[in-house]
Amino acid sequence: MSELSDTLQPDLESVRQARALAGRASLGQNALAELKQDQIDTIVEAMARAATKNAKTLATLAQNETGYGIVEDKTQKNLFASEKVFNFIRPLKTVGVISKSTEKRFIEIAEPFGVVAAVIPSTNPTSTTIYKTLIALKARCSIVISPHPTAIQSIVRTAEIMAEAALSAGAPSGAINWMTTVTIEGTQALMQHRNISVILATGGMGLVRAAYSAGKPAYGVGPGNAPAYIESSADVEKAVKDIITGKTFDNGVLCSSENSVVVDKDISERVIQIFKKNNAYFLSPEECEALSRILITAQRLPNPELVGRSAGFIADSAGISVPPETRVLVAPLDGVGRDFPLSIEKLCPVLSFFVVQDWQEGCERCKEILKYGGMGHTMSIHSKNEDIILEFGLKKPASRIVVNTPTTHGSIGLTTGLPPAMTLGCGGFGGNITSDNITPLHLLNIKRLAYEIETVPESSKPQLLTEANPMPVLISPPNRPVESTISSALLSQRADDFLKSRISSKGDHESKQEESAPSTLNNRLDEDAKIKTPVEFVCEDDVRKAITRHEKILIDKKTIITPAARDLASDNKIFTESELNL
């Protein structure tokens, strides 16, 4: 009994804390919503300055606590949030009247969404805390932070620094809050609390699904698995350097970092040589197999022990000998899916490598990679051919297709004109509510005063009945010939005959149904599955539709299944396997 009590204690404390902080944040929200634009801007600026001042200290704390990434790169991410994001949001109007249109005669008025539940990942703990706190208070939204359990110290310290600066600049008590005892139950209690108005969730697919099922508006972000395509016309030297820069930045822990390279065959040998010149190590088939065994779990997820580690550390862990200067490991693959474990998102300096005949085949290969765990997120194309670049923009299921730049830096708006952000929506492709880079504008309710600019056409107005406009006289239809009457006896006989025919027909029909119907729903589903051919690709949306329709999905070893789809299907026993066992 004592052991059970000890097990439940953290969950109970986490839930209690979540409820208390949601209540505190609600009181802070009431006061925050009354502040003027200049007061909000003063508070946000004070927080940004405090974060900039402590950028390296917080980066060091994060790296020491989690073991992920590189201190210098984490410092750059902190500065990206405290400077680049801040400079972008500083001029935004988020209080009262934010825009007017004289021509269309409408006025837009901003209101805060309300209390934000912010779930922070372990991969980017301090930079994400800085970013989410800045955009929340810029929108006059109080915030409750739920840290990842493995990064509590660094996240809490970041929140404390932001809160101290905000309070000194005039923010109300309760504007910034954070949990210190964190469990799954506590985080769920926070997201579902009645005082929470919107959720900002960054993490794995399980967390994102929990956020979207909490009954609140939510901005959730799933896995990336970004492909980088090098087309024949590309500046190959720059393309390779960009890809290595993006993949090795903070040891690849950003979800938008490159995970695969797709290259045209006619330039593939040159690309390989340039990769090697930039300290990339190409794995043999045997080394790929050894790496797969330790890097990818049975659930087709990256091993947490190797996430954010250096290429040398990962190689040593797999028993692979590489030169000490190795920056990235490259795994040549022939396909995408369960038979090719290294084709998923890896969150470390490991790249899968594919050679294609031309840009059309490259286009299809990039689609396969995105479908295998990165739908709607990010990819890059390196090319000088504007027609091909546009084709990729038109046909790829990615919300950010960055051109001739690292996916890591381009997606977050560091090297491109995209809004700078640490939360990147995946749109309908990835089951998200938006495909935008999330800014304070996503935390605002916009009200609109709309004045009449056109009068209702006269002909559309209802006509009043007056002596001058009386009710129209209905014209009787022309007379129709009347059938001759029939005797009551004949009428009764016809009715009896009709009823007998209906009863007989109904009985035959029901008898046939009983003979042909399978005995159970499962028998029906099994029979249906036998006559189908295995599908080539299954995403989470396909599984949801199958559940709704009470159908099964026939798969074989060639079927590409996203990790989220496999989890959902396993819970509901949706998959039927062909004679080849998966």
Residues annotated as catalytic (active site), given as ranges: 255
Q: CA–CA separation, 82 vs 77, rounded Å?
A: 9
The dihedral of CA 83, 205, 417, 100: what is its sign?
negative
Q: CA–CA separation, 390 vs 400, rounded Å?
A: 13
For 205-249, the DSSP string reads HHHHHHHHTSSS-EEEE----EEEEE-TTS-HHHHHHHHHHHHHG
* Length reported for the chain: 582
Radius of gyration, CA atoms only, the chain: 31
12 burial level (CB within 10 Å; 0-12, 13-18, 19+): middle
Question: Which residues, listed in sequence order, are joined to residue 370 by a DSSP beta bridge?
Answer: none
- φ, ψ of residue 553 to 5 degrees: the values are -115, 125
Q: CA–CA separation, 494 vs 491, rounded Å?
A: 5
**Residue for token digits 């000890």?**
6
DSSP state letter for 95:
S
DSSP state letter for 557:
T
Please tell me whether residue 100 adopts helix, strand or coil conformation: strand
Q: In what order do the strands lie in the sheet with 106-112?
A: 96-101, 106-112, 444-450
**Which tokens hold the place of 52?**
């900039």
Q: Which of 154, 175, 189 has the alpha carbon at shortest distance from 69?
A: 154
Q: C-alpha angle 237/240/245, rounded to 5°?
A: 120
The strand ranges marked E within 25-168 are 96-101, 106-112, 115-119, 143-146
Residue type, 313: F
Distances (CA, A) of 241 to 63, 190, 193, 235, 342: 25, 43, 47, 10, 22
159 burial level (CB within 10 Å; 0-12, 13-18, 19+): buried
For 424-469, the DSSP string reads B--TGGGT-S--SBP-GGGGEEEEEEE---SPPPGGGSPPPP-SSS
For 253-271, the DSSP string reads -STTSEEEEEEEHHHHHHH
- φ, ψ of residue 146 to 5 degrees: the values are -110, 105
Residue type, 55: A
Q: Which of 46, 204, 69 has the alpha carbon at shortest distance from 130?
A: 46
**Which tokens hold the place of 505?**
């027909």
Q: CA–CA separation, 361 vs 388, rounded Å?
A: 12
